Amino acid sequence: MRVDFDVVIAGAGPAGAWALKHLPEGVRALLVDAGNPLESSRDGKLCGGMLTAQAQALLPELPSEVRAEHFKTKLEYHDLDTGARARFPVDYANCYRSSLDRWLLRQALDARGHDADCFPRTRVTGLQSEEKAVRVRLDDKHEVTASRFLDCTGWRQVSRRALAVPTAPYYHALQVGCILSSPYPYYIAVFASKWTPFFGWFIPKSESLGEIGAAFESDRRDPPLEMLAPLAKHLREYGLEFEPGRIRGCRLTRPAKDSDIWLGQGRVLACGEAAGMVSPSSGDGISYALASGKAAAQTVGLPVEAAPAAYHRALMPQLAETRRNVIKARLLASRRARRIAGVLLPFVHRGHFERLSL
C-alpha cells in the first residue's frame, strides 16, 4: 500500500501543535484542522484560557500577545450551598486561548519546515486502520494514507467515533464574553448545586473584558441565556457590572473512571481531550493536551506494535493525576466535603487567605 505520510495529525490545538513540534526529524507529517488557528482572532475555542502549574511547566515563556492582562491573580471561591466566600492565591496563569493556539502552531510549523503540510478548514470524515496503514478521509472528498494517525480533535473524539469506541461522558459548557463597566481583577468560581453540577466561573481578560461560563448536565435543553442567568445575577450582586456578548457552547469531557480514558490502538493514538484526558475537577485540558501530544509524537519512530505501550508509559504521571482529580471532583460535588475544605483552606493558605461575606 502506498503511504502518503508518516503521520496525519487531526486537530491543531495544543495537542496537535505540540505533537507536530516534537515529531522525530525527517518524519513526513500532515496536520489538518476544522478551523484555522493561524487567523488573528481572540474569539477562538470555548475555553477559559487558564493554564495550571503543570501546563506552565510544559511551555516556554509566553509572549505578551498570549498573556491576558490579569496574568496571575487570586481566586474568589463562592459556595452558595454552604454560605462560604473566600479569596486566596492560586497558581494559574491567564491567557487568550486562540492566541495560545496560534503561537503554539507557529512554533511547530517553524520547527518542522518542509517536513509538514498544513490543511486548515479540513475535517476528518472517515478513518480506517488497516494492517499496513491508516486511511484518512478528508471532507468526504479526498483520501490520504499514513503510517500513524494522531487524534487531537478534542471533545469531537474523531477516532473513537470512527472505530466504534464509546466516547467519554461530558458536561455541556456555556460561555459568554462580556464588556465590563469597571475592572474586577479576581477569578471567581461559584458552586451552586441547584443550577450547576460543576461550577460557574468569571475570568477577567483585561480591564474591560471578561468571560462568564458554567457547565451543565449533558441532557439539559433550556435556552442558554436562561441557564446562565442565575450566575449572571449572582455576579452582579457582588459588584460585577457587565454587558454580555455572544454566547457559545460545546462539550466539556469529564472522565469518571479509568475506562473513560482511551489512548488509542495500533496505528491510532488519541491525545488530550480526544483521549478523555481532562480534569473533571477543574476542567483543565491544556496540560494533558501538551503532555500527550509530545508523548504521542515521540512514539512515531517506534515499531507500530510497540507504540501504544510506550505512549501509555509516558503518560503514567498524567493518568495518575487524572485519577486523583476524579476523586477531587467527587469531593467538590459534595456539600459536606466543601464545608470541610472551607475549614482547612485557611491553614493551607496561611497568611494569604481572606474570608469574605456571602
Position 358 scores a pLDDT of 76
- Regarding predicted confidence, which is higher, 219 or 39? 219
**Whether residue 83 has pLDDT greater than 70:** yes
Q: How confident is the model at residue 44 (pLDDT cuts 50, 70, 90)?
A: low
Position 43 scores a pLDDT of 59
Position 340 scores a pLDDT of 92
In the numeric block, which cell numbers belong to residue 341?
A: 475544605
pLDDT tens digits, one per residue of 132-157: 999 999 999 999 999 999 999 999 99
Cβ(268)–Cβ(134) below 8 Å: yes
Which of 353, 340, 326, 318 lies closest to 54, judged by CA? 318
Centre a 10 Å sphere on the Cβ of residue 250 and count the other Cβ atoms it contains: 16
Centre a 10 Å sphere on the Cβ of residue 20 and count the other Cβ atoms it contains: 29
Angstrom distance (rounded) from CA 71 to CA 88? 15
Cβ(86)–Cβ(355) below 8 Å: yes
Per DSSP, 223 falls in state: -
The share of the chain scoring above pLDDT 90, in percent, equals: 88
pLDDT tens digits, one per residue of 241-254: 999 999 999 999 99
What does each C-alpha distance from 82 to 48, 66, 74, 145, 335 come to in angstroms?
Answer: 25, 37, 21, 56, 7
**Whether residue 348 has pLDDT greater than 90:** no
pLDDT tens digits, one per residue of 275-306: 999 999 999 999 999 999 999 999 998 999 99
Which CATH number is 5-43+98-168+256-328 given?
3.50.50.60
- Regarding predicted confidence, which is higher, 271 or 114? 271
Mean pLDDT for the chain?
A: 94
**Whether residue 28 has pLDDT greater than 90:** yes
Which of 124, 148, 104, 106 lies closest to 13, judged by CA? 104
Region of 35 (left: φ > 0; alpha: ψ -120 to 50; beta: rest) is beta
Q: How confident is the model at residue 349 (pLDDT cuts 50, 70, 90)?
A: confident
Which CATH number is 55-94+169-255+336-356 given?
3.30.9.10
Ordered by start, the domain boundaries in the chain are 5-43+98-168+256-328, 55-94+169-255+336-356
Q: How confident is the model at residue 223 (pLDDT cuts 50, 70, 90)?
A: very high
pLDDT tens digits, one per residue of 337-346: 999 988 888 8
Centre a 10 Å sphere on the Cβ of residue 113 and count the other Cβ atoms it contains: 7
| Pick from 172-181, 183-192, 291-300, 339-348: least confident | 339-348
